[in-house]
Structure formats: structure tokens, C-alpha cells
Amino acid sequence: MFNVGATESPAFLILSGRVEIARRDGLGRASVIVVHEEGEITGEISQLAGRPTLAEGRAGPEGCEVAPFDAVHLRALVVGSADIGEIVMRAFILRRTELITGGGAGSILIGRASDPWLVRLQGFLRRNGYPYTVLEVGTNPDATAAVEKFAVAPEDLPIAICPNGSLLKRPSEAELGICFGITPTLNAAKVYDVAVVGAGPAGLATAVYASSEGLSTIVLDSVGFGGQAGASARIENYFGFPTGISGQALTARAFNQAQKFGAEIAMPLEVAKLECGGELRRPKDPLKIELKDGRSLLTRSVVVASGVRYRRPSIRNLEAFEGAGVAYWASPVEAKLCEGEDVALVGAGNSAGQAVVFLAPKVRRLHLFVRSNGLEASMSRYLIDRIAALANVEVYTDSEVVELDGEPEIALATSTVTNRKTGETRIFPIRGLFLFIGADPNTGWLQSCGMQLDEKGFVATELSEMDGAIWRSFKRKPLPLETSVPCVFAIGDVRANSTKRVAAAVGEGAAVVAQLHSILTKRN
């Protein structure tokens, strides 16, 4: 009925007979996951967006009668009936979870476990909620057989075997996204109502509210959904989750919710620049977003939710160990590589505290380096107390990492730390260094628009009056979340004077949609 990797494959409601669903990996190995009976429906999250299937379906021996639901009609089904929608969405989410945790579905990565390239690809697939299996060269016979079969040289590792069996050597995230069907095909002639740049909590909230209210919405992100919040091991102060929730789980729910309402989410696609049309632009003229790969899209409005980029401290040899021991987030992938080893973490904010609590049970010893004289000024009390109770965590105040050493691009071995007060220098043997020292606004792609920024580079909003021919043409004042460019809004961490909390970002994502409605209605 459908093969792995089939695009635009519908979900099938089984009217009679049976349908066998099997997982099949890039090496051709197959196993039956489930047999659907009469009254059940096939599919998982991929079918909501018309993405390539991750499993294959075959009619039972006696045949079957089915009713197909393509992506558009499937979304109409789950939105039109709350009871049916709850059943189908729950089933689809649980099926995707099974494909991720059960193994043997999606794609295969083959390489050396400690290879930074492989670690980066794993992080990309994990951040996008895509199932994959890692086969380690030298320890897994299937990996050895695949390397011999495809005549792969050591310098070509890691390789990726796509669901359709094609092979990629040392692929980029963009190449992986295309081959695995994560990156959709863009319609250059379509004019969207809303284009959201950034798939963090603010951007995803905009996508959910805009698409649920009938606005054609596309979300662009250069990495995957979740943003910085998605990399958080546990968020314990988000409203409604008293036991806490991981950033990945929270933003994955928003990602699925946005797809349910029909938002297009395109990753990993990096925006090169925003063409605003200058002073001669008229109210009905669309804005143009140009991508790094040369493609472009048109939109009536833009929501800047591009967040921030991780700040890189001035540490000697830092670049040589990025991805080879140095990380800017603490996911299960990095934690596994450092399991049972000594690691260090730099930072004093809540994200640093959450990372310490997540990593400590998995490592032998964790050194926490803080430039200031304590944690109290920047970290929540509950995290400070929890860190104090961890026997294998030691906090060093007034301390700064100044140099790294080891095998560049292979493995980190030591870090040199200086006490800022006494000048004393110590060398710590570590296998991993986690940096949580804040971030800078991700606004480089806005420079071509001449957008107004504050002194730190964040996007200015709350502009009561704006001069210039373009604003006279639009015959109105800027709205509260609107930038100095008409129809371009800014929300979340990238916005000047915003509250750097997940709940605040989600709130701004909801608020901006009301403002979008007010301008789009007038333009139409």
C-alpha cells in the first residue's frame, strides 16, 4: 500500500480486512510493528504534513478495504472533531515515539561514536524528532558489512543511509534533511500570510495560533524546532507542569500542534536576508525572504523569532574542540559521550543550573566554574539548593577557563582555569566542557532592511511614532510588537527588553497573532 519514504502517502481508515505495518531501515531489514484491524487508522505524525513515510504498509492476506485521508483532509478530521482528533493525535504521537525508541526505522548513521561529525548529525536528528539508528564502526558487524558493501573509505565517515537506501558520505545537516524528507519543498510562487523565522517557543506559539485561525503560515529554522529551550534538560518553572518537563518534550508538543493546524515547518533552512522593499514599498507589496541555498519565498508579514546565538568565550583552542568535547547544550547525546568521566561547566544562569542537575548523575565529577562571586544573583534558589546537594559537583567562584588542550578535533583532555582574584592557575583533567554563558541576538539576516536595533543588537519594538515615507504610505503607527519596518514583528529573546522566559515567549507568540490579524484584514 505504501513504502518507506513515500511522499504524500495518506493515512488509511480500515473499513474491512487488515493492514500490516512494518519498520524497514536503510539496510533492508524489516520487522512488523503492528497489524491494524477494521476501524483503525494507519499513519503517524509524518502524515499530518505530507512528509515521507517512516514505515511500510501491506494489505493482509485476505485483502482490505480502506478510505484514504491525505494531509489536508486528515487535518480537517482531527480539527473538526475534538474526540476523534484527540484519539488520532495521541495515536500518531505515540507511534512516532515508538519509531524513535524502538529502533530499526528511519535512517542509519554509521561512524565512530566519538566523531564530532557523527555527534552533530545525531543532535540534528534528535532535535527534529526523527528516528535513527547509530551503528558504530569496529564494534557492530552490520556497520562493517555496510562499509565494505559501499566501499567507504575511513575519511568518508560518517555515512548516512536514507530510508530509500541511498548513501550520503559525511553529509551536512541540510543534505541529511533533504534525503530524510525533513526539509519540505517550497512553493516560490505562493504568498504566505505569515512567515515565522525561528522555531523556538515564541515562533512555534505564533505558528499554532496563526494557523489555527486560518492564516497560511510557514516557520523557518536553521537547526530544528525548540531553540535554546529545546536543549534544556528540564524546565521546572513553566506554568502547568509541577513535576517539570524537558525542553524537547515541551517544544515537540508545540511542533506537532502547529502541524495539526496546517502550519508548514521548514528545517534546516537558514535565512540569508529579508528584502523589505525600502521606502517605496506599498501596503499590498509582499516581503521577500531569501535563503542561504538560493531559494526564496514571499509573505505578507514576517515574525522575527530568531532568538539568540550561543556566545563563544575567549578561550584559547576553543574552536579546535567544538564538537569534540566542547558543547553549548547538554543533551543525552553529549551526556552519553561523557558518561563516567570528569567534565566542566561554565555558567551561572538557570540554563546552566538545569544542565548541572541533568549531567551530574551521569558523570564522575562535575566542575562548575563561575566568573562572579556566587550563583545567587543569577540562578533560581531551587537550582542552587539542588546543586549544593550533589556530592560530585564542586563550584569554583571567581574562576575563568582560559585554555583547552588535548587532541584537536578528536578529544578534549584538560582545561586551564585562572582565579580572577588571586591569579592562581590550575589544570583540570576533563573530557567535556559545557558552555552556558549567555547569547547574542541572531539579527545578522536583518541588516539589509536597516531595521532599528538597540545598543546590544536586539530588535526594537514598542515604537510609538515612526517618520519616513513608508509609514506615511501605510497610514498608521507601529503596533506594540511591530518593528521599524511595517508588517515585520519581533517576539521572544531577539526582541529588545523582552522577558527571557519560555512562558513570556509563548505569550508574545500568541499576542503577535492578534496584531497580525489587524493588519492582514485591512490589506485584504
How many separate helices (H) and strands (E) can be counted in the chain? Answer: 14, 26
Instruction: State what percent of residues in the chain have pLDDT above 70.
Output: 98
Q: Examine residue 49 and state whether it is found in any structural domain, yes or no.
A: yes
Kindly tell me if the per-residue pLDDT of 104 is higher than 80. no
| Tens-place pLDDT, residues 329-341 | 887 878 888 899 9
Asked if 418 and 400 count as a contact pair (C-beta separation under 8 A), the reply is: yes
Please name which of 283, 274, 375, 390 lies closest in space to residue 343, comparing C-alpha atoms: 390
More confident residue, 8 or 34: 34
> Distance between CA atoms of 382 and 237, rounded to whole angstroms?
10
CB atoms inside a 10 Å sphere around CB 284: 8
Q: Examine residue 197 and state whether it is found in any structural domain, yes or no.
A: yes
Q: Are residues 54 and 88 both part of a single domain?
A: yes
> Distance between CA atoms of 503 and 36, rounded to whole angstroms?
40
Q: Which residues contact 215 (CB under 8 A, 6 or more apart)?
A: 193, 194, 513, 516, 517, 520
Predicted local confidence at residue 28, as pLDDT: 67
Q: Are residues 299 and 328 both part of a single domain?
A: no
Boundary of a domain, candidates 393, 420, 435 = 435
| Tens-place pLDDT, residues 217-248 | 999 999 889 887 877 777 888 889 898 888 88
Boundary of a domain, candidates 159, 179, 199 = 179
Predicted local confidence at residue 103, as pLDDT: 67
Predicted local confidence at residue 138, as pLDDT: 85
Q: Are residues 343 and 453 both part of a single domain?
A: no
Instruction: State what percent of residues in the chain have pLDDT above 90.
Output: 60
Average pLDDT over residues 86-108: 85
> Distance between CA atoms of 388 and 402, rounded to whole angstroms?
25
Q: Are residues 343 and 489 both part of a single domain?
A: no
Asked if 198 and 322 count as a contact pair (C-beta separation under 8 A), the reply is: no
Q: Examine residue 216 and state whether it is found in any structural domain, yes or no.
A: yes
Q: Examine residue 63 and state whether it is found in any structural domain, yes or no.
A: yes
196: left (phi over 0), alpha (psi -120 to 50) or beta: beta
Q: Examine residue 406 and state whether it is found in any structural domain, yes or no.
A: yes
Q: Is the peptide bond before 268 cis (omega within 30 degrees of 0)?
A: yes
Kindly tell me if the per-residue pLDDT of 208 is higher than 80. yes
Q: Examine residue 4 and state whether it is found in any structural domain, yes or no.
A: no
More confident residue, 165 or 498: 498
Q: Are residues 359 and 505 both part of a single domain?
A: no
Q: How confident is the model at residue 105 (pLDDT cuts 50, 70, 90)?
A: low
Average pLDDT over residues 354-372: 95
Predicted local confidence at residue 392, as pLDDT: 97
> Distance between CA atoms of 201 and 209, rounded to whole angstroms?
12
Q: Please give the distance of CA 400 from its chain centroid, rounded to a whole number.
A: 30
Cell of 524: 485584504
Among 6-10, 102-106, 343-347, the least confident range: 102-106
Instruction: Tell me the three state secondary structure of residue 170.
Output: coil
Q: Are residues 445 and 362 both part of a single domain?
A: no
Mean pLDDT across the chain: 90
Kindly tell me if the per-residue pLDDT of 308 is higher than 90. no
Asked if 400 and 424 count as a contact pair (C-beta separation under 8 A), the reply is: no
Predicted local confidence at residue 481, as pLDDT: 96
CB atoms inside a 10 Å sphere around CB 440: 14
Helix (H) or strand (E) holding 344: strand 342-346
Determine the structural domain holding residue 57 and report its residue range.
11-100
Predicted local confidence at residue 58, as pLDDT: 94
Q: Examine residue 185 and state whether it is found in any structural domain, yes or no.
A: no
| Tens-place pLDDT, residues 394-428 | 999 999 999 999 998 778 999 999 999 999 999 99
Kindly tell me if the per-residue pLDDT of 523 is higher than 90. no
Q: Are residues 452 and 431 both part of a single domain?
A: no
CATH code assigned at 426:
3.50.50.60
Please name which of 91, 7, 5, 2 lies closest in space to residue 54, comparing C-alpha atoms: 5
Predicted local confidence at residue 85, as pLDDT: 94
Predicted local confidence at residue 65, as pLDDT: 97
Q: Are residues 413 and 458 both part of a single domain?
A: no
Average pLDDT over residues 66-84: 94
> Which one-letter amino acid corresponds to residue 217?
T
Asked if 274 and 287 count as a contact pair (C-beta separation under 8 A), the reply is: yes
Kindly tell me if the per-residue pLDDT of 382 is higher than 80. yes
Kindly tell me if the per-residue pLDDT of 524 is higher than 80. no
Q: Are residues 344 and 449 both part of a single domain?
A: no
Asked if 23 and 80 count as a contact pair (C-beta separation under 8 A), the reply is: no
Predicted local confidence at residue 418, as pLDDT: 96
Please name which of 113, 158, 115, 108 lies closest in space to residue 132, comparing C-alpha atoms: 108
| Tens-place pLDDT, residues 268-277 | 999 999 998 8
Radius of gyration for the chain, computed over Cα atoms and rounded to the nearest angstrom: 24
> Distance between CA atoms of 386 and 384, rounded to whole angstroms?
5
Q: Examine residue 6 and state whether it is found in any structural domain, yes or no.
A: no
CATH code assigned at 92:
2.60.120.10
Q: Which residues contact 94 (CB under 8 A, 6 or more apart)?
A: none
Q: How many domains does the chain have?
A: 4
